[in-house]
Structure 1
Amino acid sequence: MEKEILEQGLNLNRRKFLSRLSLGLGSAALGSLLVPDLFSGRSESEDAIMAALPHFAPKAKRVIYLFQNGAPSQLESFDYKPLLQKNYGQDLPESIRMGQRLTGMTAGQEKFPLVGSYFDFQQYGESRAWISSIFPHTASIVDDLCIVKSMHTEAINHDPALTFFQTGAQVGNRPSMGSWLSYGLGSENSNLPAFCVLLSRGKGNGQGVYSKLWSNGFLDATHQGVQFSNSEDPVLYLKDPKSMSRDERRKMLDQIAAMNDLSFREFNDPAITAKVQQYEMAYRMQTAVPEITDVSKEPDSIIKLYGPDCLVPGTYAANCLLARKLSESGVRFVQLYHQGWDQHDNLPNQMAMQAKDVDQASAALITDLKQRGLLDETLVIWGGEFGRTNYCQGKIQVENYGRDHHPRAFSIWMAGGGVKSGMVYGETDEFGYNIAENPVHVHDFQATVLHLLGIDHEKLTYKHLGRRYRLTDVSGKVVKDLIA
């Protein structure tokens, strides 16, 4: 029998063959449920990589990523530039722009008139960080934040820039950051996936989000992000049909596992066992998800902290509260996308509304995690895919201006999870156009996030089509100055 299987060209070594040969059909099905990686199909070198994780003591156990989709302007949030007010309407000096690539929306402009923020700024906390007046709740927790003002990226349009942040590449079919962490670290709760995705929509101009952003790419399908919805069923197709009992579902899954094991023995395709594992996860989630998504037991103090919108499924506030509950329950990576930050015109009005959507709930999440003793082990990230230009797009108007895409310099903030608190890192020039000190590239950011989770970004790899891939591709360095 061993000779026949080897002649079929299956990718089995002797140790794996003998271990599987000893299993009968029923025990094989049971084994795939009790030991999810038993038939994963990983190579021995990949097994060694996984066995070594974490590579060193982690500072964070999990991540909540509050992605502000559409790119909020750093000049109306965290990067105060009084020179833009002083030089209002003057043309951006060519010595500052240096022939930077422009989008099609401003490439035809003959002038690039500078425009300062419509909103006031003040310094807050011991860090004396400058915060815009439209983020009062964020200002109240500024000493818990690490504000990075020197982020930069390569992409100048939304889709590639967003994909770059999430997957480390501007093209699709790469695993997202959450999938990499699921692959490397797994979930802390066997009844919940390691990677969950929450979507919300603000009142400003929106940019779409797509499932490729939480795709498993070339990793096993078990590492794909599980999207929660604001419908009656938070996870679609999770419930049993009304005509099926819990015991009947259990018997059906056992029979499916047995049949899939036969297919695996014939084809040795890891996707088969990944499918079985997904069925099993869905079965376990049937009891875990309703409890997680039920906010009726949250005390009034928490509802007041997040604001009344946290009781409305699908809002940013509701998703922030759900993110806390998922993270508290052991979900490794919670990805929240909030759409509506694409202000090419009417920026003062739209950005004020967007900030009102997210400000209280973002600050509440930090406060909530902190009072529960969870902030130190939970890394929270807030930011978009790039920044906004210091010049006006189109006709300049004091109360109705817009800003184009700007990948050269923008701001994000992080909190908890081993990053320094009460810190402002990096600086832009007086025009807010170029980075003046401590640049942080997207791959540097990704390498630092993995480092906080105890992972050497150069060692978390996966071999696909003859090449070893990683989240940071072939670059990236840990920004140690950000680490407490």
Structure 2
Amino acid sequence: MCDSHTSPKPPGWSPDLDQLQKQLDRRRFLTRTAMGLGSIALGSLMGNTLLGKSISKIAAEDASLSLEQEILQAIPHLVPKAKRVVYLFMSGGPSQFETFDYKPKLLDMFGQPLPDSVRQGQRLTGMSAGQAILPVVPSIYKFNQYGKSNTWVSELLPHTAQVVDDLCIIKSMYSEAINHDPAITFFQTGNQLPGRPSIGSWISYGLGTDNQNLPSFIVLVSKNAVKDQPLYSRLWGNGFLASEHQGVQFRAGKDPVLFLDNPEGYDGEDREEMLQSLKELNTYQNEVNKDPEMEARIAQYEMAYRMQTSIPEVMSVKDEPDEVFELYGPDSRDPGTYAANCILARKLLEKDVKFVQLYHQGWDHHGGLPAGMAKQCKDTDQATAALIIDLKRRGLLEDTLVIWGGEFGRTVYSQGKLFPDNYGRDHHPRNFAMWMAGAGVKAGISYGETDDFSYNIVKDPVHVHDFQATLLHLMGIDHERFTYKYQGRRFRLTDVHGKVIKGILS
């Protein structure tokens, strides 16, 4: 008699087919029992959701699902550590020399040429490729060790230094993109060319929303930032995913979301009736044309209607005590500033918005770096640290992932003329620093090391795709299994690369 472990498999059997059959069996069970009394009771306890999906929707699904639907049914692939993300994107490329990567050996090398053994023939931008000499320039700012972790932090970031034991600082990030547009596009979409979905759109597509009255992906842009490099709305675009997954930009002022308020002179009493009629027309058109964008359009109209009530509440800070504004700094009372946007981000996270992204421009310092970095850090340091403190004391940091960083770093050599107290740094994608904090990430550590010139990585390199894979992992998604078919090819955020950075996971 054959043992069960060695019994012959039926013709055509494969591990993948066996796994798919198990998933189908589970789906059929849910479909058959979703309308039972036990499931109704379970739905009432879980807010009528099961792993982020409506129970009634599961019950209504047909037995023959598309592969895209099967992929979404399988999410989450593992137990998520993070329920939501706030990504503080420092657009322009903050210098690691003036923030987190302390290089004391450079102090005696002021003005000396960068050794060929360090540069190793690596590509330069067109802005410094013609320089006869690439003079080494150490930071003029002091560093000190902070926290129980004894982490080195620049004097430009006194508030961040106070929360350093909550941070996981990655000093060994790297990218292939050496210019702003492809570099920032690479970070946000996984590809240097425009057209792919952004990280927030992928998260929205895969995990849906926990708040039916707000978008799952919201973007805030600082009004008080230096506009040295442009930002494009495609950076939070949906790409080839349905348009309901694109980021929605919130603005300061009378109209936080464009085209949301009723037109002048319209009281909106028949708005619900109008939307119902519009839904019927769109539904009919969808039945005729089978266009997925029609479903997205229906969903967006309904969301806009609900947002007319939810937006005024979430945008209002009148109930925030003075202590909160003092924590985030004086700019926090001015709507649209980075500090005010950090408070708004916290309010949105409290409302269970899945992905909140703040953009703060002005970090591209080819010249006048000391003064430029001082201003940037002054505008962002206190509010950034306050967000960590505020999330932590409200019990949100344990399941919220906070990310800080730009698209690349800066060179050890000065671009153009070098003066003791005035210099600039060119783009450097081969290593730079960023940090993560909160859900599922080790606190109070520095990960990765660079050489004495912060020019090359000597330990634990972390590629952009590795960062993206880790972000998805913390949200409960296996980046290799999370795909979308478009124009005959299966795409994913990490393309065909990326690995989870296990060394930073708690």
TM-score (norm 2): 0.87
Contact 2:90 2:360 in 1 (8 A): yes
Are 1:311 and 2:333 matched, yes or no?
Answer: yes
Are 1:81 and 2:94 matched, yes or no?
Answer: no
Counterparts in 2 of 1:257 and 1:436: CA distance versus 1, 3 Å: same
**Deviations 1:137-184 (CA, angstroms, capped at 9, x unpaired):** 000000000000000001000000000000000011100000000000
Aligned match of 1:111: 133
Q: 1:246 deviation in Å?
A: 3.7
Aligned match of 1:447: 469
Match of 1:424, SS state, is: strand
195-204 or 141-150, larger mean C-alpha shift = 195-204
Q: 2:186 aligns with which of 144, 164, 167?
A: 164
AA partner of residue 88 (structure 1): F
1:60-459 alignment runs, 5 A limit: 60-202=82-224, 204=226, 206-459=228-481
Q: 1:202 deviation in Å?
A: 4.7
Contact 1:60 1:452 in 2 (8 A): yes
Contact 1:341 1:354 in 2 (8 A): yes
Counterparts in 2 of 1:438 and 1:206: CA distance versus 1, 3 Å: same
Q: 1:213 deviation in Å?
A: 0.3
Contact 1:152 1:407 in 2 (8 A): yes
Contact 1:62 1:377 in 2 (8 A): yes
Aligned match of 1:19: none
Counterparts in 2 of 1:244 and 1:37: CA distance versus 1, 3 Å: farther
Distance 2:412 2:439 in 1: 32
Q: 1:39 deviation in Å?
A: 10
Distance 1:55 1:95 in 2: 45
AA partner of residue 237 (structure 1): F
Counterparts in 2 of 1:256 and 1:134: CA distance versus 1, 3 Å: same
Aligned match of 1:8: none
Match of 1:448, SS state, is: helix
AA partner of residue 143 (structure 2): F
Contact 2:224 2:336 in 1 (8 A): no
Counterparts in 2 of 1:203 and 1:286: CA distance versus 1, 3 Å: closer
- Moved segments of 4+, more than 2 Å: 34-40, 201-205, 241-247
Q: 1:237 deviation in Å?
A: 1.1
Aligned match of 2:35: none
TM-score (norm 1): 0.91
Distance 1:283 1:303 in 2: 31
Distance 2:295 2:478 in 1: 28
| RMSD of Structure 2 on Structure 1 (CA) | 1.8
Q: 1:43 deviation in Å?
A: 5.8
Contact 2:201 2:245 in 1 (8 A): yes
Aligned match of 1:25: none
Counterparts in 2 of 1:226 and 1:423: CA distance versus 1, 3 Å: same
AA partner of residue 117 (structure 1): S
Contact 1:306 1:364 in 2 (8 A): yes
Q: 1:464 deviation in Å?
A: 0.2
Match of 1:404, SS state, is: strand
Structure 2: which 5+ residue stretches go unaligned?
A: 1-53
**Deviations 1:83-140 (CA, angstroms, capped at 9, x unpaired):** 2211111000001001111111001001010000011000111111110001000000
Q: 1:359 deviation in Å?
A: 0.1
**Deviations 1:320-365 (CA, angstroms, capped at 9, x unpaired):** 1111111110110001100000100000001100000000000000
Match of 1:390, SS state, is: strand
Match of 1:148, SS state, is: strand
**Deviations 1:234-274 (CA, angstroms, capped at 9, x unpaired):** 11111122433343111111111111111111100011111
Q: 1:457 deviation in Å?
A: 0.4
Distance 1:279 1:205 in 2: 33
AA partner of residue 320 (structure 1): C
Distance 1:407 1:204 in 2: 22
Distance 1:46 1:167 in 2: 20
Distance 1:396 1:474 in 2: 42
Q: 1:379 deviation in Å?
A: 0.3
Are 1:471 and 2:493 matched, yes or no?
Answer: yes
Identical positions, percent: 60
Contact 1:39 1:273 in 2 (8 A): no
Contact 1:204 1:353 in 2 (8 A): no
Q: How many residues align?
A: 451
Distance 1:460 1:244 in 2: 44
Q: 1:203 deviation in Å?
A: 5.1
Contact 1:207 1:340 in 2 (8 A): yes
